[in-house]
Amino acid sequence: MIIMKFGGTSVQNEEAIGRVISIVRSRLRERPLVVVSALAKVTRLLCDIADEAEAQHEGKVKELLAQLKDRHVKLAENLLASKPELLSEAMEKMAYRFSRLETFVSGVCKIGELSPRSEARIISNGELLSSIIIGYAFNANGITCKWLDARKMVITDENYMSARPDLAMTEANVKRAVAEDTKGAEVVITQGFIASSTAGFTSVLGFEGSDYSAALFGMALGASRVEIWTDVDGIRTADPRTIGDTERIEKVSYEEAAEMAAMGARVLHPLTIEPARKKNIPILVLNSGNLECPGTVVTREDKAPVGPKSIATQERIFFITVQSPKLIGVTNMLAKVSTALAARNIPVVMATASESEVYVTVPQEKDGLEEGLDDVLKSLSTWAEVTVYRNKAQISIIGRGMIAFEGLGDKTISLSGKVYMVSLGTNLLSESFVIDRDRLQDTLEGLHNYIFKQS
């Protein structure tokens, strides 16, 4: 069995779904389980619906719900026009989903309160709707397809908007559901991103969590591989949206792929790697719009070459220095700063420490200090001098054997003008630099040419 996950851009319209059907048809001998995301931009639309409901903007909520319904109904009509009986069934199931969503959103609108549990319930509808339509489209095209509800298989904690799965329970559920409920099917279709808490309420695995879902299904079923279908030609040496002349990476290790995600590369969901690595299942990153491209294979370390693989950036970060007037030791310095940040759920991207100083970087998610960070800084200021540097960016070079690649520091300084912090990953898989944000693009292009374009 193989797992085939298709992201939002791969299922965004009738033409894209037609390509998906063709791709899956070519894999039927391998008994594919297909994992689909919501249609492109639908999750964002559902988030807007949730926000407008909380704000009690009833008129706007109705307008957005109408947009959601219109897009899915038209797509189903176009895909299933030749099979009126299947169209009727699909419409009935979608009508049920729309009715429940409208009723629930109306309730949120009335009370003007949106809990994480309520938000997860609202935004889960994107995957449920897309999988209904695509499942019927498979059947309409002569591929026998069975639909499974991911919420009955993937069981998580109660952190509803960024839930963590119970791996043992999820594995048992997936094996049972696939064995019992899919007899006679050529293809099984289910949803990425969505799950249920142990209490039985809808949860989600964090935004862009469909990759993670695919890896979980692969782990549970002992799949021969997991295919992640996107709109780019595999994993690239940099984000192709920021540099036009990137190169495809042929092979990358599980560890390198995880490091790329941790350092800001939008390649795979950060948690995707571990379930696949646990069972030694290769992950293929492929382009549904370019079937001739072999993509990238994520595999065991001994099967991937040594050397730099990719450059990742985080465009908006805070660089924070904490200086104690006393020498209290590296361990104590790190402990005091990390404890304060963890208490407010503020993630640390990088950290270095000495006997009396700690340097950290944290993501800047919006202008000004993100929620909670201001309180942390005030607390730290009671015993240390704290300085926050804004308008900074982070650039990271990832790959096995980074320590043997000479000249990165000097080249980064010459391109950026100033480096505020340097950090070599503890696993020796990355070297990162904090620079001024307005020098990021020039530095990125210069480093990319220096590392990957040398003859």
Tokens 């298709």 belong to residue? 6
Give the pLDDT of residue 368: 45
Domains, the chain, ranges and CATH? Answer: 2-231 (3.40.1160.10), 310-452 (3.30.2130.10)
Burial class (CB in 10 A: 0-12, 13-18, 19+), 288: buried
How many other CB atoms are there within 10 angstroms of residue 183's CB atom? 8
pLDDT over 80 at 115, yes or no: yes
Q: What percent of the chain has pLDDT over 90?
A: 73
Give the pLDDT of residue 369: 54
Give the pLDDT of residue 367: 45
Q: How confident is the model at residue 235 (pLDDT cuts 50, 70, 90)?
A: very high
Handedness of CA 164, 170, 174, 180 (dihedral sign): negative
Give the pLDDT of residue 370: 67
Which residues, 6+ apart, have CB-to-CB distance to 426 below 8 Å? none
- Residues 77 and 88: their CA atoms lie apart, in Å, by 9
Q: What percent of the chain has pLDDT over 70?
A: 98
Give the pLDDT of residue 45: 98
Mean of all residue pLDDT scores within the chain: 92
- Residues 92 and 343: their CA atoms lie apart, in Å, by 47
Q: How confident is the model at residue 262 (pLDDT cuts 50, 70, 90)?
A: confident
Give the pLDDT of residue 372: 81
Q: What is the pTM of this model?
A: 0.89
**Which of 99-108, 131-140, 338-347 has the least mean pLDDT?**
338-347
Could you tell me which residue, 50 or 308, shows the higher pLDDT?
50
Q: Please give the average per-residue pLDDT across 117-139, as a whole number.
A: 98
Residue 191 near residue 35 (C-beta atoms within 8 A): yes
Secondary structure class of 339 (helix, strand, coil): helix
Tens-digit pLDDT profile for residues 436-454: 999 999 999 999 999 988 7
Q: Please give the average per-residue pLDDT across 31-54, as a whole number.
A: 97
Residue 419 near residue 409 (C-beta atoms within 8 A): yes
DSSP 8-state class, residue 39: S
Q: Please give the average per-residue pLDDT across 290-296, as a whole number.
A: 94
pLDDT over 50 at 455, yes or no: no
Tokens 């808490």 belong to residue? 197
Give the pLDDT of residue 328: 86
Tens-digit pLDDT profile for residues 236-245: 999 888 888 8
